[in-house]
Chains A and B, each alone.
Chain A
Amino acid sequence: MPSISPAEASSDTPDNTPHALLPFLQTQSQNTLTRLYQSPSSCLSIFRLLAPLERQMVMNLLWLESSIAVATMATWVIQEHQKLYENALTTLARLHILPHHIAKLALNPTFKTSLRQAITGGGTTGSFGVPSQKDDKHSPPDIKVLDGYALERWETILHYMVSSGMGQAPTKPSQGVLYLLQRSGLMASMRGAPLQITSTGFQFLLHSPHAQLWDLLLEYLAMADERRMDVVEVLSFLFMLSTMELGREYSTENLSDTQKAMLEDLRDYGLVWQRKPTSKRFSPTRLSTTLTSSLPPLPTSTGTGSGSQSEGFIVLETNYRIYAYTDNPLQTAVLNLFVSLKYRFPNLVVGSVTRDSVRKALTNGISAEQIISYLTTHAHPQMRKNKPLLPVTVQDQIRLWELERNRLKSREGYLYKDFASLADYEFVLNYAKELDVVIWESPTKRCFFGSSEGHANIKGFIERRTGGQA
């Protein structure tokens, strides 16, 4: 787990949680998957998304011509880890990589052929991307240019989201991106008003870039059908991008129409760089080449930024003060979600975590854990000397503030009061208790509060009594 940020580690532990894409693949039909497996690069990328044991099982079977007995395979995993092994079998069966069979195990023949081809090379599928001819006029783009482009695109999207709630008007991302944000429920528009960020959107902002990227891409995949795009082509293009080399130009000529259409969308997300929209060549950015790895998808340092993407920048003190060494408007805006900012300097933002600021975040749907994990992920290197990393007082207080919101519970009901005598009161109260509808009672004030379900009965009971007396 070399580079996954702790935020990701706590939200989706890479040890146990399968990759976000796998559940989506599992819902696809066998037919779709088999078509997908025809491309060696897709097989390679899917293979990488699997858990370690699953990968090893695939490897063991990859070069066997005949099938192998289930019992033989099972003895290869030691007794204590059989559960892990069975889970792996289930996952592989769902992906139709290793079809479930009572007695024999053999890989899906399409998958086997393609993965073999991916590993040994050769074939004529061209699934790893056709490199473009050398261009005499322009040299291929610098990696720096690509990184800058990816970062700029990505931050535009996030910045738009974060500032939508504050009435600012930052640069709008393209129409396609806006639609995607709306579809994924990260942003919503109330009665024709401009788009507003939703509570899922707030949570999204605190995720690691890698998780954010896959969230959006999954949504994109879900939209594919609706847009009459072939899921297989969309997926195989994404996988092709993930196996491409950074800083190299590829030709668009061998792409299908769907994939050419995708280029435009992916350019908006910052996954692909093109000199101009009509260009016959494109270059993948770091966002796309790290799709199937856990390396940071965004450049570690940029020309404009202070390199704070990779290094932590937040210092949190026990007196709830936050010093954030950043000049990045996006980071400032994200902090502004749960910190009340006090001063702003060219490279430093000072604020404090207050009850109000945290409550504001909580009402936006952000949880205390998310705030804490964000602070942990982006803690300044100086902070990392501390043990524990964040001051315990602040951590606890943030959690308490969250609990505070759960202190009041509202329930609908009726208050019964003004009883003539204590005996009357107790008589009715006992009846209500038998029905188990009493929520609160006060003998001194001669009143009690009952839930609304019991009201009809109690009302009838009182009427019968008063009626009997009258």
Chain B
Amino acid sequence: MDKASHLSVILDLSPSQWHHSAQQDNPYPLSLPDFLSQLLTFLNMHIASKHENTLAVFGAFPGKSVMLYSTTDYVDIGQAMDANTYPPFKAVDTSVTQKIRDEIDALGEADEEAPCALVGAMTKALCYINRITSTSSSATAMTTSHSSRTPSALDASDPSILPDPRILILSVSPDLSTAYIPLMNAIFAAQKLKATLDVCKLYGPDTVFLQQAAHLTGGSYIYLTQRDALLQYLIMSHLPPPAMRAALAVPTQDRIDFRAACFCHKTVVDIGFVCSICLSIFCRPVPVCTTCRTKFPMKTLQRLNASRPPMPANPSLPGTTTANTSVGGTPRGGTPANNNGMAAMAAGLR
């Protein structure tokens, strides 16, 4: 149980969202500097927990993702060191704040803010985890192929063996439906790496996709209601490594929104139409699958069109349609009788 653990933190640093978040008309205004000071404390606590714990911090800026800090890259704090601070803490704090400041200064005065590169940051985090776990496992592959728990003296030099990886996403932006497919791919990659995705939603409406991300990788999704208690939330639910959560009553989500985004208009749909060949999702019946070019029979198409709900789906407002969380077994769709047809399916595709 007492193993080193790796934590990658992804910060959603959308200037406009943080601006909204700091407005005084919010029940609990939270500005970026306040958030950062609480976050840095949390990061320090992670490092404090164990000497071998590793940490990486990624920032998702508009249209750009940047690595802000990682344990493996040595930061020379040089003369900034003082006798009252533990050197690694100092390194994290200076590195993270400095890089965020640089990036924000570099942001141009664009009229329209580009969407945050959350998925880009996630992918970087996953690559980083892959790198630190694969180097340690390849070093041990030859030595420990027969037993998983032979911490041979060989990997002693590598502090990051089995670091129990997890990613914590601190999100403020709403769902970006265009990012659905890349995000899903990132989730699958995380599953494969056995990395846990934790999500803490600091501001704005619930995000459907991140809920799914947390659910599919066994992490926890927290919607922060009392934002002045951010640090306590982080400590209680996101600090314990996954191995230890088994013993704790860590808050989990009771309702998960399983809706998916369609491939054609990238809108979140309650009822989607799924290509029976390649499983692409569409918001309305199409004669030819845009992904695999399968032609569907005209008859099926007509039947599906006839069985669509009378209310035309409003694609411009995702999430404002019915907040139908688990659309188990929708009877509306035609039966997927012929194997070359198009099946209407509940969006809970998994």
Contact = CB atoms under 8 A, between A and B. Distances in A.
A59 B235 contact: yes
B50 A293 contact: yes
B157 A310 contact: yes
B158 interface: yes
B144 to A, nearest CB: 7
A48 B51 contact: yes
A123 B44 CA distance: 17
Interface string B1-13: 1111000000000
B39 interface: no
A3 B241 CA distance: 19
A190 interface: no
A118 B48 contact: yes
A93 B149 CA distance: 33
Q: Which 4 pairs from chain A and chain B are nearest by CB?
A: A293-B51, A121-B85, A126-B83, A81-B247
A102 to B, nearest CB: 22
Given A1-B2, A52-B1, A312-B153, A75 B86 contact: no
Contacts of B182: none
Contacts of A62: 45, 235
Interface in B50-98: 50-52, 81-87, 89-90, 93
B253 interface: no
B317 interface: no
Contacts of B311: none
26 contacts: A1-B3, A1-B149, A2-B163, A5-B153, A41-B86, A47-B49, A48-B50, A56-B240, A59-B49, A59-B235, A62-B235, A63-B232, A64-B232, A80-B247, A81-B247, A81-B248, A118-B86, A122-B84, A124-B84, A128-B87, A244-B87, A293-B50, A296-B153, A296-B157, A310-B157, A384-B150
Given A243-B86, A295-B159, A119 B48 contact: yes
A55 B49 contact: yes
Given A60-B236, A128-B84, A9 B151 contact: yes
Given A128-B83, A312-B152, A119 B247 contact: no
Contacts of A381: 142-143, 152, 154
A48 B158 contact: no
Interface residues on A, range: 35 or more
A15 interface: yes
A126 B52 CA distance: 24
Given A41-B86, A78-B249, A311-B153, A292 B51 contact: yes
A406 interface: no
A78 B154 CA distance: 37
Interface residues of B, number: 55
Interface of B: 1-4, 41, 44-45, 48-52, 81-87, 89-90, 93, 142-147, 149-163, 231-232, 235-236, 239-241, 244, 246-249
B239 A120 contact: no
Contacts of B232: 60, 63-64
A294 interface: yes
A153 to B, nearest CB: 20
A194 interface: no
Given A47-B48, A63-B232, A119-B45, A384 B2 contact: no
Contact of A312 (B4, B44, B154): B154
Contacts of A368: none
B248 A77 contact: yes
Interface in A292-338: 292-296, 300, 309-312
A56 B2 contact: no
A121 B93 contact: yes
A300 B157 contact: yes
A255 to B, nearest CB: 12
A53 interface: yes
A75 B246 CA distance: 14
Contacts of A379: 152
A84 interface: yes
A52 B168 CA distance: 20
Contacts of B246: 81
Contact of A44 (B1, B48, B231): B48
A47 B86 CA distance: 14
Interface string A40-59: 11001001100111011001
A409 interface: no
B36 to A, nearest CB: 13
Interface string A76-94: 1110110011000000000
Between B50, B151, B156, the greatest number of chain A beta carbons within 10 A of the residue's beta carbon is seen for: B156
A15 B1 contact: yes
B261 to A, nearest CB: 36
A387 B3 CA distance: 25
Contacts of A174: none
Contact of A311 (B50, B81, B154): B154
Contacts of A63: 231-232, 235
Given A15-B2, A77-B249, A310-B156, A121 B144 contact: no
Contacts of A41: 86
A304 B328 CA distance: 69
B151 A6 contact: yes
Nearest to A208: B153
A281 interface: no
Contacts of A84: 247
